[in-house]
Amino acid sequence: MSQKFRLTDGGRIDRDQPVRFTYRGKRYKGFKGDTLASAMLANGQNLVGRSFKYGRPRGIMAAGADEPNAILQLGATEATQVPNVRATQQEVFEGLVSDPVAGWPSVDFDLKSIAGTLGGKLMPVGFYYKTFMWPAKLWMTYEKFIRKAAGLGRSPLENDPDQYDKMNQYCDLLVVGAGPAGLMAALTAAKAGRRVILADEQAEMGGSLLSSDQQIDGQPAMQWAESVLADLSAMANVTLLPRATATGYHDHNFVTVVERRTEHLADQAPKGQVRNRLHRVRAGQVMLCTGAHERPLVYGNNDLPGCMVAGAVSTYIHRYAVRPGQVLALCTANDYGYQAAIDWHRAGGQVSVICDTRDNPTGELFQQAKALGISIKTGHGIVDVIGSKSVRGVVIAELADQGRRARPRTENVVADCVATSGGFSPVVHLSAHLGQKPIWNPDVLGFVPNPDCGLLSAGGVQGHYELDAVLSGATQAVAAAFDCSPIAVPAVATRHIDAPMGMFLIPHPAGTSQAPKQFVDYQNDVTASGIQLACREGFESIEHVKRYTALGFGTDQGKLSNINGVAIAAQAQGKSIADTGTTMFRPNYTPVAFGAVVGRDVGELFDPKRYTAMQPWHQANGAAFEDVGQWKRPWYFPKAGESMHDAVNREAKAVRTSVGILDASTLGKIDVQGPGAREFMNRVYTNGWAKLDVGKCRYGLMCGEDGMLFDDGVTACLGDNHFLMTTTTGGAARVYEWLELWAQTEWPDLEVYFNTVTDHWATCTISGPNARKVLEKVTDLDVSNEHFKFMDWKAAEVAGVPGRIFRISFTGETSFEINVPAHYGLHVWQALIDAGQEYDITPYGTETMHVLRAEKGFIIAGQDTDGSVHPYDLGMGWAVGMKKPFSFIGKRGMQRQDCVRENRKQLVGLKTKDPKFVLEEGAQAVFDTQAQIPMPMVGHVTSSYWSPNCERSIAMGVIKGGLTRMGESVFFPQKDGRVIEAEICSPVFFDPEGERQNG
Amino acid sequence: MLHIYCPYCEEHREEEEFHAKGEAHIARPADPDNTTDTEWGDYLYFRKNPRGLHHEMWVHALGCRKFFNVTRHTVTYEILETYKMGEQPTQGADA
Ligand SMILES: [Zn+2]
């Protein structure tokens, strides 16, 4: 029969909009407005999984985020699989496909025969703890079972087809939870003109009022809520976020709120819409109006499907018009529990018994239940449940010694649903995310937010459960925080409510160790006797008890179980709950999809890409690209049929025999100006800048205060107080910040200004014996060697465009770096290509650039150096101005004891005995191949290439004492057992006299 | 994520705009060439690691690019003040 538990009227569902969904391949019908859980209950489908450890059947317990059992897998296709979905929070939609996850091997197959055993051995309490602690081989045995059985769901094997996004939000007040307290708080602040965001995790705002039969201002409570919501949505300073869970409270009132925008509509978000939106809210004040989760009582076999928390029963009846059974047995330790029985009775069901663990209840709800003729047993508790796959009845017993003992005489009572209320646990999670432990309030029998947590709070989260107190508390809290007026509190009848009883575990006549299993944490199958065992084994701290038993370690983070667990541990240790303390809560409050975290920062948008002005030409001419930081640089330009090796050999030869052209636009460029600029250069570079004339360039080494090289580059003197500094492509941002650091913090007396101009200029470098001939064709400037010397720069028109030409060389050839304003870059590049046609000008990429510079022994900072190499280690003492008057950065550092000792690793060239063998970069060097393993390693290869111009392999590396070992051999043991011998030599392999670059 | 008041921009900005640069008020020795290795080592490497108030240097890297100092509690992450280069803190042990 379809929807046999659905009531004929009532509820907030739309009976005119039926919705079909599947669970475990079977089709069911629900209504729009249903959650998956309410629709399943309506259909009598209350088997949602098997428990992990004991394989016991489990059913729906709760109606919200606190649900521990109904954790399902969603998704109609592989790509749209979503694990870890709480059926109690998932709205049904047409075509929803769901499956159980904790049902190995199947939810129907009764595992009782092997329940709680693995390989015939009982899984004891502390199972995880013991398996992880010792011995390792035990874990190997169990792992395959655990992997199969544990875990709630699986990740999709295909890419998530949905889009997610993020939004930054600012407000004066973020209210979390739109129940009576949240509505009142938001309205108070909004009326005072404050910017307010009201976020609520449910589809409908109203919180507890959605399933309340109380009156506000003489109307049903929801009518009041709806009018407040109408007011709020009409106000420009208010943002309402339904289906939005505040998942984390972070520093300085930063709150992450995950809004589920389309999860209620379809398997996949409708085109153009995002699945989730992560609101990154920076709030002036954050107010928790999160209410409280009702705690179930702990009793024997309390995990049978049909056992629920009392408030959830009311919610299913009121909101979803589902009464999940015919005969209810209820046990409560407070007045509020009665409500479920009253609702059940009014919905046409039978209530077989209410057990109140208190002796003398007198409250209004008790009176109401009594007036309805329901059988009430005071001083009694439910101690056991009868049934195997579902509830058939309960066993009740009279309690003694203030509820610490159950009398031996028991009575069986018929029931197919059991509801319990052990009291309420305020939803304090967010208040504890920054480390402020919640405080036990014995009056309300719950942990409330620590007053130092920095958040405002009102209502259930404070342990206030009566509407009048909730509404007035909320408006007063906002008024005090914002120094505004509270708003009028609507009229609510005052009810007489008796004090609750601190009852957590209902004692069993046989004692806890002999009792049927009394579950505390459903997800992890933690029982009351397990917690007691942990205490007996000496685990005192609640954090240790948690880890030993796995209490609260599930995806529900123990929302229903933590306080019961703490209370049982406290009792076992003879301590108070306040002294035992609660465990920490950490973000996220409920699981968050990875998609929501990454938002749009995926695929193409994962990281910005930087292109030079010449990119279209590179692309059109078949360049292969290499990532250098965020830059996409041409790596090599293969011709048809060429391998990378072929292309690089051709390009490298072309540069040395005719002319090549390189896009060097990505080099960092920093404009340095001011009366203090020259002195500043003197201080941040190791070499001297006092005498560099306008029109000249100089290569400089930049070190840290430790004396180690971290960047290098050529700087040109543009004017007496004006320099253009170049940095490595990857180091530009770091160098820029470094310069600012020194100018601002140490030498504010030097007047100097920096500007990063990397993107202002495009740089075409032409290099080779015919470079000058090409340049002559595009400029009127006299570029003869006589008038334009090596390390000079000149302003000139190039291809009709104003530019700067720098005669500097990273190839060792006659070379010109032509800088033009970036938007002319492509034009000038094309002009040079055209002009170079007759010389077969060859575009080359970074790989050839590396080969050419290595042939010349030019270093690359960050490749041939690693932060432990100073200029003398590089044999570049010539670039250190030890006589400069100011103690430049790095000078003192490179004179430290360790920096001046013998036998430091020094940069040298390496020539393999076999000229065809190209060493691997990073290969470790040894001096003595006969040494015992592990061999003393004496250095490593930093750069290594095949050099087409030397017709052999070339390499550089750092070797201990290398500069004093010229001509000696080092050895490189290979993976395959071979040992490669190489000779230590000068790193300059090509044109050692430098005739070509000067010519 | 911290919310940091830039004393130059004179407004609160998100932590993403800033870089932390370590302990504040580390002065470069006036005459580096005449320091001992120990003194230079202290300047280079030795930093406080207090539980409580700490003076730190930050830079508004994606904003005004100014360096400034912050008095921050290393347990609660509360920022008690931010102040410009050359100014002294009013909070904490060194105040
Ligand atoms: Zn700023």
- Using one digit for the tens of pLDDT, what is the confidence trace for A930-964? 999 899 999 999 999 999 999 999 999 999 999 99
Question: Looking at residues A561-569, what average pLDDT do you find?
Answer: 95
Strands (E), A536-601: none
Question: Looking at residues B60-87, what average pLDDT do you find?
Answer: 96
Distance CA A493, CA A332 (A): 23
Selecting from B37, B75, B85 the residue whose C-beta is nearest the C-beta of A745 gives: B85
Q: B32 — contact with chain A (CB < 8 Å)?
A: yes
* ipTM tops the 0.90 cut: yes
pLDDT at A824 over 80: yes
The domain that holds A944 is classified in CATH as 2.40.30.110
Q: State the distance from the centre of ligand 1 to the C-alpha of B18, rounded, in angstroms.
A: 9
In a domain, B28, yes or no: no
In a domain, B68, yes or no: yes
Residue B68 belongs to domain spanning: 51-95
Distance CA A792, CA A998 (A): 11
Distance CA A505, CA A383 (A): 9
| A chain contacts of residue B2, beta-carbon cutoff 8 Å | 251-252
Say how many C-beta atoms besides its own lie within 10 A of residue A76's C-beta. Answer: 15
- Of A111-125, A539-553, A582-596, A844-858, the poorest mean pLDDT is in A111-125
Q: In chain A, helix, strand, coil percent, each to 5?
A: 25, 30, 45
Distance CA A355, CA A376 (A): 6
SS3 at position A414:
strand
Q: How confident is the model at residue A112 (pLDDT cuts 50, 70, 90)?
A: very low
Closest Cα to residue A656, out of A234, A997, A408, A379? A997
pLDDT at A120 over 90: no
In a domain, B32, yes or no: no
Residues A283-338 have pLDDT tens digits of 999 999 999 999 999 999 999 999 999 999 999 999 999 999 999 999 999 999 99
pLDDT given at position A119: 41
In a domain, B40, yes or no: no
The domain that holds B60 is classified in CATH as 3.30.2270.10
Asked whether the beta carbons of A849 and A652 are under 8 A apart, the reply is: no
Question: A525 and A435 in one domain?
Answer: no
In a domain, A838, yes or no: yes
Half-sphere exposure of A144 (CA within 13 A, CB side): 4
Distance CA A549, CA A537 (A): 11
In a domain, A976, yes or no: yes
Which phi and psi (to 5°) does residue A640 adopt?
-50, 125
Distance CA A508, CA B68 (A): 65
Q: Suggest the residue from B16, B28, B34, B69 to mutate for an interface test with chain A (most A CBs closer than 10 A).
A: B28
pLDDT at A151 over 70: no
Distance CA A239, CA A199 (A): 8
pLDDT given at position A145: 52
| A chain contacts of residue B65, beta-carbon cutoff 8 Å | 740
Question: A73 and A217 in one domain?
Answer: no
Residues A745-777 have pLDDT tens digits of 999 999 999 999 999 999 999 999 999 999 999
Closest chain B residue to the Cα of A884, Cα to Cα = B33
Residue A359 belongs to domain spanning: 328-418
Question: A706 and A621 in one domain?
Answer: yes
Burial (Cβ within 10 Å: 0-12, 13-18, ≥19) of residue A915 = middle
User: How many domains does chain A divide into?
Assistant: 6
pLDDT at A993 over 60: yes
In a domain, A764, yes or no: yes
Strands (E), A319-422: 327-332, 350-356, 376-378, 380-386, 393-400, 405-414, 417-421
Minimal C-alpha gap between A878 and chain B (Å): 20
Question: A724 and A647 in one domain?
Answer: yes
Selecting from A251, A891, A897 the residue whose C-beta is nearest the C-beta of B1 gives: A251
Strand A952-960 and strand A905-912: the pairing is: antiparallel
Question: A823 and A801 in one domain?
Answer: yes
A with B: how many residue pairs have Cβ under 8 Å apart?
Answer: 56
In a domain, B33, yes or no: no
Question: A808 and A730 in one domain?
Answer: yes
DSSP per-residue codes, B62-88: TTT--EEEEEEETTT--EEEEEETT--
Q: State the distance from the centre of ligand 1 to the C-alpha of B64, rounded, in angstroms.
A: 4
Question: A357 and A334 in one domain?
Answer: yes
Q: How confident is the model at residue A889 (pLDDT cuts 50, 70, 90)?
A: very high
User: How many domains does chain B divide into?
Assistant: 1
Q: Which two structure tokens, joined as six digits, stand for A683?
A: 């201080």
* Consecutive H or E run containing A479: helix A467-482
Asked whether the beta carbons of A327 and A348 are under 8 A apart, the reply is: no
In a domain, A224, yes or no: yes
In a domain, B35, yes or no: no
Closest chain A residue to the Cα of B85, Cα to Cα = A745
In a domain, A63, yes or no: yes
Selecting from A251, A705, A897 the residue whose C-beta is nearest the C-beta of B2 gives: A251
| B chain contacts of residue A251, beta-carbon cutoff 8 Å | 1-3, 77
Closest Cα to residue A533, out of A135, A138, A127, A142? A127
Q: State the distance from the centre of ligand 1 to the C-alpha of B60, rounded, in angstroms.
A: 5
Selecting from A282, A737, A891 the residue whose C-beta is nearest the C-beta of B3 gives: A282
CA–chain centroid gap for A711, Å, is: 33
Strands (E), A127-216: 164-176, 196-199, 215-216
Strand A276-288 and strand A456-457: the pairing is: parallel
DSSP per-residue codes, A272-316: T--SEEEEEEEEEEEEE---EEEPPPB-BTTTSTTEEEHHHHHHH
Selecting from B14, B44, B65 the residue whose C-beta is nearest the C-beta of A706 gives: B44
Q: Is B21 within 8 Å of A741 when comparing Cβ atoms?
A: yes
Question: A956 and A921 in one domain?
Answer: yes
What's the mean pLDDT when you consider all of chain B?
95
Distance CA A655, CA A814 (A): 10
Question: A528 and A512 in one domain?
Answer: yes
The domain that holds A721 is classified in CATH as 3.30.1360.120
Q: Suggest the residue from B36, B67, B84 to mutate for an interface test with chain A (most A CBs closer than 10 A).
A: B67
Distance CA A412, CA A433 (A): 45
pLDDT given at position A117: 43
In a domain, A146, yes or no: no
- Which residues lie across from A330 on neighbouring strands? A354, A419
Minimal C-alpha gap between A169 and chain B (Å): 12
Q: B87 — contact with chain A (CB < 8 Å)?
A: no
Question: A758 and A720 in one domain?
Answer: yes
Of all residues in chain A, the percent with pLDDT exceeding 70 is 95
Considering the entire predicted model, what is its pTM?
0.90
Q: State the distance from the centre of ligand 1 to the C-alpha of B70, rounded, in angstroms.
A: 13
In a domain, B42, yes or no: no
Say how many C-beta atoms besides its own lie within 10 A of residue A346's C-beta. Answer: 13
pLDDT given at position A153: 78
Selecting from B3, B33, B44 the residue whose C-beta is nearest the C-beta of A252 gives: B3
In a domain, A122, yes or no: no
pLDDT at A147 over 70: no
Q: B57 — contact with chain A (CB < 8 Å)?
A: yes
pLDDT given at position A553: 80
pLDDT at A636 over 50: yes
Minimal C-alpha gap between A728 and chain B (Å): 20
Distance CA A956, CA A908 (A): 6
Question: Looking at residues A25-50, what average pLDDT do you find?
Answer: 95
pLDDT given at position A102: 59
Question: Looking at residues A986-998, what average pLDDT do you find?
Answer: 93
Of all residues in chain A, the percent with pLDDT exceeding 90 is 89
pLDDT given at position A55: 81
Residue A286, C-beta contacts closer than 8 angstroms, at least 6 positions apart: A173, A174, A176, A249, A253, A255, A430, A454, A455, A456
DSSP per-residue codes, A325-354: -SEEEEEESSSTTHHHHHHHHHTT-EEEEE
Question: A849 and A825 in one domain?
Answer: yes
pLDDT given at position A108: 54
Q: How confident is the model at residue A126 (pLDDT cuts 50, 70, 90)?
A: low
Distance CA A90, CA A33 (A): 10
Cα angle A402-A404-A408, degrees, rounded to a multiple of 5:
105
pLDDT at A136 over 80: no
pLDDT given at position A338: 98
| B chain contacts of residue A741, beta-carbon cutoff 8 Å | 21, 59, 67
pLDDT given at position A115: 42
CA–chain centroid gap for A86, Å, is: 21
Residues A825-877 have pLDDT tens digits of 999 999 999 999 999 999 999 999 999 999 999 999 999 999 999 999 999 99
Q: Is A892 within 8 Å of B35 when comparing Cβ atoms?
A: yes
Peptide bond into A408 cis (omega under 30): no
In a domain, B13, yes or no: no
Question: A742 and A843 in one domain?
Answer: yes
Q: Is B32 within 8 Å of A891 when comparing Cβ atoms?
A: yes
pLDDT at A138 over 90: no
Q: B16 — contact with chain A (CB < 8 Å)?
A: no
Q: How confident is the model at residue A125 (pLDDT cuts 50, 70, 90)?
A: low
Residue for token pair 């072309």:
A654
Minimal C-alpha gap between A889 and chain B (Å): 10
Distance CA A447, CA A450 (A): 9
Q: State the distance from the centre of ligand 1 to the C-alpha of A454, rounded, in angstroms.
A: 27
